[in-house]
Every structure is written in C-alpha cells, then in structure tokens.
Amino acid sequence: MPVPVGEAFRLFTELPGDWLPPAHTFIRDPVLIAMEPWAGGRFFERGADGTEITRGTILEWAPPGRLVVTWRIGPGWQPVRTDENASVIEIEFRAKGPGISEVVLTYAHLDRAGDFGAQLRTAIQSQNPGETLQRYADLAERHQNRV
C-alpha cells in the first residue's frame, strides 16, 4: 500500500463502503457500510429503510496495527446471523518503509461454515487478489498524495 500504516488502517476501517464491491453487499444499495471502532462493535450495513445486517463483530480493535473481525458469510455467499458460524479475519497493518504499508489478512475458523468452508478456502487461496482487495488497493492509491 502506498500509504503509512495509520492511513491504511483508517481507510480500511472508516471507508469500507468505498472498498467493498456493490455485488458483495447483503443489502441492495446500502446507505451505510461501517465499522464501530471498538472491540465488540459491529461491521454492518444499513439500508435506506433502516434495515441493518451485521457482517461481523469486531473482536480486536488495535489501531494502527491490527484488527480482528468475524466474517459472517455462509452458503451461497449469504450472511449468517451469529458469530457461532462465522469465520474470523485477522488484518495486520505493517510498515514496509517510509509511507509504505503491507496489509496481511489471515483467515481462521473456515470450518465454521460447514461444507461451504471449502469454497471459501478456494476463493481465498486464489492467485487473484479479488475485487475487494483490488478496490482497497485502488483506494489507498487515490489517497497516497493526501497524506
């Protein structure tokens, strides 16, 4: 990432609506996608009618270096309602030089998704970074000259 660690963390946590692809949202045309900035907070979407769907729970909030959140994705790429069946994503933001960050995502507990866990593992292990990570990288690129 062409931004310092603190900015990489901020972009990830404050602007998820900018990096999450529209096709990956649970609510059609959400008016808000946000992370509540504390352990126990939600990563959620809100629709124009006030409907909310929790994408995950913040398990660890340690700016600027670490974020751990449950990933409530289940069969058919649909949301699961509780963290019991959610996997976990650990995100580490590491300095790799002046103004350069490395962002490392580690997925755990994919087995909680049952048979769908194998499909998740295949998608994660793909050589392609995926649209979500590409959008996040593009967001960092756009913000690089602002910091």
pLDDT band at 115 (very low <50, low <70, confident <90, very high): confident
Nearest to 2 by CA among 119, 113, 138: 138
**Segment 47-80, tens digit of pLDDT:** 999 999 999 999 999 999 999 999 999 888 889 9
Structural domains of the chain, with CATH? 5-146 (3.30.530.20)
Q: Locate 44 and state its tokens.
A: 């959620």
Half-sphere exposure of 81 (CA within 13 A, CB side): 0
pLDDT of residue 143: 86
* Other CB atoms within 10 Å distance of the CB of residue 105: 13
pLDDT of residue 76: 85
Task: For residues 12-23, give the mean pLDDT.
Answer: 94
pLDDT band at 3 (very low <50, low <70, confident <90, very high): very high
